[in-house]
Structure 1
Amino acid sequence: MRGNPLSETKLTVIYDNPTDPDAFESAYESEQLELARRIPGYLRLEASKVWPKEDGSPTPAYRMIDLYYPSYDDVSAAVTTPEAGAFFEALGRIATGGVRVLVSDIEVPQH
Protein backbone atom coordinates (compact mmCIF):
# COMPACT_ATOMS: atom_id res chain seq x y z
CA MET A 1 0.00 0.00 0.00
CA ARG A 2 1.31 3.43 -0.93
CA GLY A 3 0.94 6.73 0.91
CA ASN A 4 -0.24 7.51 4.39
CA PRO A 5 -2.92 4.98 5.38
CA LEU A 6 -4.90 7.76 7.08
CA SER A 7 -4.98 10.04 4.04
CA GLU A 8 -7.03 9.91 0.90
CA THR A 9 -5.84 9.58 -2.69
CA LYS A 10 -7.13 11.82 -5.46
CA LEU A 11 -7.51 11.08 -9.17
CA THR A 12 -7.38 14.39 -11.07
CA VAL A 13 -8.23 14.89 -14.72
CA ILE A 14 -7.07 18.26 -16.07
CA TYR A 15 -8.55 19.20 -19.43
CA ASP A 16 -6.44 21.65 -21.41
CA ASN A 17 -8.15 24.28 -23.55
CA PRO A 18 -10.16 22.42 -26.23
CA THR A 19 -9.78 23.27 -29.89
CA ASP A 20 -13.57 23.78 -30.04
CA PRO A 21 -14.97 24.82 -26.63
CA ASP A 22 -18.59 24.60 -27.79
CA ALA A 23 -18.17 21.00 -28.98
CA PHE A 24 -16.39 20.12 -25.73
CA GLU A 25 -19.15 21.66 -23.61
CA SER A 26 -21.88 19.89 -25.56
CA ALA A 27 -20.25 16.51 -24.80
CA TYR A 28 -18.83 17.21 -21.32
CA GLU A 29 -21.90 16.55 -19.16
CA SER A 30 -22.85 13.19 -20.69
CA GLU A 31 -19.47 11.91 -21.89
CA GLN A 32 -17.31 12.96 -18.95
CA LEU A 33 -19.13 14.11 -15.86
CA GLU A 34 -21.85 11.47 -16.00
CA LEU A 35 -19.34 8.73 -16.83
CA ALA A 36 -17.06 9.89 -13.98
CA ARG A 37 -19.99 9.52 -11.58
CA ARG A 38 -20.25 5.85 -12.61
CA ILE A 39 -16.63 4.97 -11.73
CA PRO A 40 -16.95 2.92 -8.53
CA GLY A 41 -15.50 3.43 -5.09
CA TYR A 42 -14.95 7.17 -4.82
CA LEU A 43 -15.79 9.07 -1.64
CA ARG A 44 -16.61 12.33 -3.39
CA LEU A 45 -16.39 13.98 -6.78
CA GLU A 46 -15.54 17.59 -7.60
CA ALA A 47 -15.85 19.18 -11.02
CA SER A 48 -14.59 22.66 -11.78
CA LYS A 49 -14.17 25.09 -14.64
CA VAL A 50 -11.20 27.43 -14.78
CA TRP A 51 -12.03 31.13 -14.66
CA PRO A 52 -11.09 33.01 -17.84
CA LYS A 53 -8.14 35.37 -17.56
CA GLU A 54 -9.06 39.04 -17.40
CA ASP A 55 -6.66 39.93 -20.21
CA GLY A 56 -8.24 37.36 -22.55
CA SER A 57 -5.12 35.19 -22.82
CA PRO A 58 -5.53 31.40 -22.65
CA THR A 59 -5.88 29.82 -19.23
CA PRO A 60 -3.40 27.10 -18.18
CA ALA A 61 -6.29 24.59 -18.17
CA TYR A 62 -10.00 24.51 -19.01
CA ARG A 63 -11.78 22.10 -16.63
CA MET A 64 -10.94 19.55 -13.94
CA ILE A 65 -12.58 16.52 -12.41
CA ASP A 66 -11.32 15.20 -9.05
CA LEU A 67 -12.34 11.84 -7.65
CA TYR A 68 -11.34 11.18 -4.04
CA TYR A 69 -10.65 7.61 -2.87
CA PRO A 70 -9.82 6.07 0.51
CA SER A 71 -6.41 4.87 -0.68
CA TYR A 72 -4.02 4.43 -3.59
CA ASP A 73 -5.09 0.79 -3.84
CA ASP A 74 -8.73 1.87 -4.18
CA VAL A 75 -8.03 4.30 -7.03
CA SER A 76 -5.80 1.71 -8.69
CA ALA A 77 -8.67 -0.79 -8.64
CA ALA A 78 -11.23 1.80 -9.80
CA VAL A 79 -9.30 2.76 -12.95
CA THR A 80 -9.33 -0.86 -14.13
CA THR A 81 -13.14 -1.13 -14.14
CA PRO A 82 -15.32 -1.09 -17.27
CA GLU A 83 -16.85 2.18 -16.02
CA ALA A 84 -13.42 3.83 -15.94
CA GLY A 85 -12.69 2.35 -19.36
CA ALA A 86 -15.78 4.08 -20.78
CA PHE A 87 -14.76 7.36 -19.13
CA PHE A 88 -11.20 7.23 -20.49
CA GLU A 89 -12.38 6.19 -23.97
CA ALA A 90 -14.66 9.25 -24.12
CA LEU A 91 -11.88 11.39 -22.65
CA GLY A 92 -9.68 10.50 -25.60
CA ARG A 93 -12.36 11.69 -28.00
CA ILE A 94 -13.42 14.99 -26.44
CA ALA A 95 -10.19 16.30 -24.87
CA THR A 96 -9.04 17.86 -28.15
CA GLY A 97 -6.70 20.35 -26.47
CA GLY A 98 -4.89 17.74 -24.39
CA VAL A 99 -5.40 16.25 -20.97
CA ARG A 100 -3.38 15.34 -17.90
CA VAL A 101 -4.31 12.62 -15.42
CA LEU A 102 -2.73 12.62 -11.97
CA VAL A 103 -2.97 10.40 -8.89
CA SER A 104 -2.03 12.28 -5.73
CA ASP A 105 -1.64 11.52 -2.04
CA ILE A 106 -3.61 14.14 -0.10
CA GLU A 107 -1.23 15.30 2.57
CA VAL A 108 -3.50 17.85 4.26
CA PRO A 109 -7.16 16.76 4.03
CA GLN A 110 -10.13 19.10 4.48
CA HIS A 111 -11.60 17.29 7.48
Structure 2
Amino acid sequence: MPTKITLIIDNPANTEDFERTYAEVKAAAKKFPKLQRLESAKVWPKEDGSAVPAYRTLDLYFDSYDDASAAVATPVAADVFGALAEAKATFTGLFADVEQA
Protein backbone atom coordinates (compact mmCIF):
# COMPACT_ATOMS: atom_id res chain seq x y z
CA MET A 1 0.00 0.00 0.00
CA PRO A 2 1.33 3.48 -0.82
CA THR A 3 2.85 5.21 2.20
CA LYS A 4 3.57 8.84 2.90
CA ILE A 5 5.94 10.22 5.49
CA THR A 6 4.90 13.71 6.54
CA LEU A 7 7.19 16.01 8.49
CA ILE A 8 5.29 18.88 10.11
CA ILE A 9 7.93 21.49 10.86
CA ASP A 10 7.29 23.92 13.69
CA ASN A 11 7.79 27.68 13.43
CA PRO A 12 11.52 28.47 13.48
CA ALA A 13 13.00 31.28 15.55
CA ASN A 14 14.55 32.82 12.43
CA THR A 15 12.77 32.04 9.17
CA GLU A 16 15.54 33.40 6.92
CA ASP A 17 18.19 31.19 8.53
CA PHE A 18 15.82 28.23 8.42
CA GLU A 19 15.06 28.69 4.72
CA ARG A 20 18.77 28.58 3.87
CA THR A 21 19.16 25.28 5.68
CA TYR A 22 15.84 23.93 4.40
CA ALA A 23 17.23 23.96 0.86
CA GLU A 24 19.74 21.36 2.10
CA VAL A 25 16.96 19.36 3.72
CA LYS A 26 15.02 19.13 0.45
CA ALA A 27 18.12 18.28 -1.58
CA ALA A 28 19.00 15.47 0.83
CA ALA A 29 15.42 14.17 0.98
CA LYS A 30 15.34 13.76 -2.81
CA LYS A 31 18.02 11.06 -2.38
CA PHE A 32 15.89 8.70 -0.26
CA PRO A 33 15.97 5.24 -1.83
CA LYS A 34 12.72 4.26 -3.55
CA LEU A 35 11.27 7.75 -3.09
CA GLN A 36 8.42 8.17 -5.59
CA ARG A 37 7.57 11.82 -5.01
CA LEU A 38 8.42 14.71 -2.70
CA GLU A 39 6.12 17.61 -1.85
CA SER A 40 7.26 20.64 0.11
CA ALA A 41 4.80 23.25 1.35
CA LYS A 42 4.90 26.46 3.33
CA VAL A 43 1.93 27.12 5.63
CA TRP A 44 -0.06 30.22 4.70
CA PRO A 45 -0.10 32.95 7.33
CA LYS A 46 -3.42 33.46 9.08
CA GLU A 47 -5.46 36.41 7.88
CA ASP A 48 -5.80 37.78 11.41
CA GLY A 49 -2.02 37.75 11.94
CA SER A 50 -2.07 35.14 14.71
CA ALA A 51 0.59 32.43 14.82
CA VAL A 52 0.25 29.49 12.47
CA PRO A 53 0.38 25.98 13.98
CA ALA A 54 3.38 24.99 11.82
CA TYR A 55 5.79 26.58 9.35
CA ARG A 56 6.30 23.93 6.66
CA THR A 57 5.41 20.40 5.70
CA LEU A 58 7.52 17.91 3.80
CA ASP A 59 5.76 14.88 2.30
CA LEU A 60 7.74 11.89 1.08
CA TYR A 61 5.85 9.26 -0.94
CA PHE A 62 6.84 5.61 -1.24
CA ASP A 63 5.22 2.55 -2.86
CA SER A 64 4.98 0.72 0.45
CA TYR A 65 5.34 0.95 4.21
CA ASP A 66 8.38 -1.32 3.96
CA ASP A 67 10.09 1.03 1.49
CA ALA A 68 9.36 4.06 3.71
CA SER A 69 10.58 2.27 6.84
CA ALA A 70 13.77 1.14 5.12
CA ALA A 71 14.42 4.66 3.79
CA VAL A 72 14.48 6.24 7.25
CA ALA A 73 17.13 3.73 8.33
CA THR A 74 19.61 4.89 5.67
CA PRO A 75 22.43 7.44 5.77
CA VAL A 76 20.15 9.75 3.74
CA ALA A 77 17.84 9.99 6.75
CA ALA A 78 20.81 11.06 8.87
CA ASP A 79 21.50 13.84 6.35
CA VAL A 80 17.87 15.02 6.34
CA PHE A 81 17.36 14.91 10.09
CA GLY A 82 20.86 16.28 10.70
CA ALA A 83 20.10 19.31 8.53
CA LEU A 84 16.84 19.87 10.42
CA ALA A 85 18.73 19.64 13.71
CA GLU A 86 21.32 22.10 12.39
CA ALA A 87 18.48 24.51 11.66
CA LYS A 88 17.24 23.95 15.23
CA ALA A 89 13.93 22.83 13.77
CA THR A 90 11.46 20.81 15.78
CA PHE A 91 9.02 18.66 13.88
CA THR A 92 6.50 15.85 14.06
CA GLY A 93 6.87 12.87 11.73
CA LEU A 94 3.93 10.75 10.59
CA PHE A 95 3.71 7.59 8.50
CA ALA A 96 0.37 7.37 6.69
CA ASP A 97 -1.39 4.89 4.45
CA VAL A 98 -2.24 6.85 1.30
CA GLU A 99 -5.86 6.23 0.36
CA GLN A 100 -6.65 6.72 -3.30
CA ALA A 101 -9.86 8.62 -4.12
Please, what TM-score do these two structures have when normalized by structure 1?
Answer: 0.85
Unpaired runs of at least 5, structure 2: none
Deviation at 1:95, TM superposition (A): 4.0
Q: Look up the match of 1:55.
A: 48
Deviation at 1:109, TM superposition (A): 2.0
Aligned length: 101
Structure 2 residue matching 1:35: 3-state secondary structure: helix
2:8 is the alignment partner of 1:14: yes
Written as runs of structure 1 = structure 2, the 5 A alignment for 1:1-111 is: 7-29=1-23, 31-96=24-89, 98-106=90-98, 108-109=99-100
Higher strand fraction: Structure 1 or Structure 2? 2
What percent of counterpart residues are identical?
Answer: 48
Unpaired runs of at least 5, structure 1: 1-6
Q: Deviations over 1:35-71 (max 9, x none)?
A: 1111111111111110011111111111011011111
* Largest Rg, 1 or 2: 1
Q: Structure 1 segments of 4 or more deviating over 4 A?
A: none
